[in-house]
Amino acid sequence: MPRRSPFERTIDRSKEVKITDELVQKSMRKARFMPPYFAHEPLSASLYAELALAVTECPRKNTLADMEHHLQSEDEFDIDENEMNSDLDSEETTTHAPSTSVRTKPSLEKSIVGGCQPVGDRGKKLCVVEDMDEDNKLIYYLKLAKWTEREIHSKFVSEGRIDYSQKTIGTRFFRMRRFIMDDNDERLKKGTAVWFQSEQSLLPEAFAFATEKIEKERQALEKRKWDLVAEFIQKHEPVAMFSGEACRRQYEAISKAKAPVPPEKQRRLSPKVAGLLAARRKQVAYVKQLQKADRPKV
């Protein structure tokens, strides 16, 4: 059977656009300038004083001629052609005075903020209660007074404070708490902190509470351990269906040498035990037969 030739696509040359010099000049005379896709905020003059240069005003009309006229009308770009040629011939460089719109660089003392005070309300450091600012101290004591994050957020908004989110409030208090606890440990070692009577009297009750809770968790872990033992046995012996508690009792009986002899090792079997052994062997053989059987493709 002869092969069919591939479809040959015909191109209409009459519809092609030819780029000519006239078309290029026309596009340059009527150039279109699109606005930037992203709007950027000006740089902070205190942090980027050396980069905060004056920016020329954008042309109002979107034509190349208007833009050239605008640039030529600016004083800082108004340079005499004869003066430029003389500078090029003599190969001399002229220095211009810095623009007055550029702010001076702040001193080192003003740039560095010590202690726990933030820089522009950002990057606040963790510190002890005595060195906290007003907002952090208020969050700390409101959380100690059992205020919720939602209530603290509403209070800050109503008083015109920093608009912390509810999640941020909880995170900040958690970090404060951990920092103050570590700081108190160091103070106790140095002798600059003490246990008060109200705190020390709670130690026995707190110890009993923690012991009871840990004991419940230990019992739950112990139960989980024997459940894993039962799962392991059932994985290797599919027909062995024993609970974790049954595994624990049997293991303790084996450890104390009180476990009964398995039927496979007994010389004389009672009719009841012999029936159990025969049924077990039948189940194991059937499971092995199913394991070797052909399985449907899914």
Taking the CA atoms of residue 271, residue 276, residue 282 and residue 285 in that order, the dihedral angle to the nearest 10 degrees is: -130
The last residue of a domain, from among 144, 173, 195? 195
Q: For residues 165 and 184, state if they share a domain.
A: yes
Helical ranges in 97-144 per DSSP H:
108-111, 134-144
d(CA 82, CA 69): 20
Q: For residues 218 and 186, state if they share a domain.
A: no
d(CA 77, CA 60): 18
Higher per-residue confidence, 40 vs 268: 268
32: exposed, middle or buried (Cβ count in 10 Å: 0-12, 13-18, 19+)? exposed
Domain presence at residue 67: no
Domain presence at residue 76: no
What is the pLDDT, as a whole number, of residue 221? 96
* Structural domain of 276: 263-297
Higher per-residue confidence, 9 vs 281: 281
Q: For residues 189 and 134, state if they share a domain.
A: yes
Domain presence at residue 210: yes
d(CA 21, CA 17): 13
- Provide the angle, in degrees to the nearest 10, between the axes of the packed helices 134-144 and 166-190: 90
Domain presence at residue 205: yes
Domain presence at residue 62: no
Q: For residues 186 and 174, state if they share a domain.
A: yes
d(CA 70, CA 80): 16
Q: For residues 204 and 255, state if they share a domain.
A: yes
Q: For residues 279 and 249, state if they share a domain.
A: no
What is the pLDDT, as a whole number, of residue 93? 44
Q: For residues 188 and 201, state if they share a domain.
A: no
- Report whether pLDDT(1) > 70: no
The last residue of a domain, from among 164, 195, 226? 195
- Report whether pLDDT(226) > 60: yes
Higher per-residue confidence, 86 vs 42: 42
Q: For residues 203 and 168, state if they share a domain.
A: no
pLDDT in tens, 94-121: 444 444 444 454 444 443 333 444 434 4
Q: For residues 153 and 138, state if they share a domain.
A: yes
Q: For residues 174 and 224, state if they share a domain.
A: no
278, two tokens: 């025969």
The last residue of a domain, from among 147, 174, 195? 195
- Report the number of distinct structural domains present in the chain: 3
Q: For residues 191 and 146, state if they share a domain.
A: yes
Contact 164, 158 (CB under 8 A): no
d(CA 247, CA 245): 5
Domain presence at residue 59: no
pLDDT in tens, 140-176: 999 999 999 999 999 999 999 988 999 999 999 999 9
Identify which of 196, 193, 200 has the alpha carbon closest to the alpha carbon of residue 129. Answer: 193
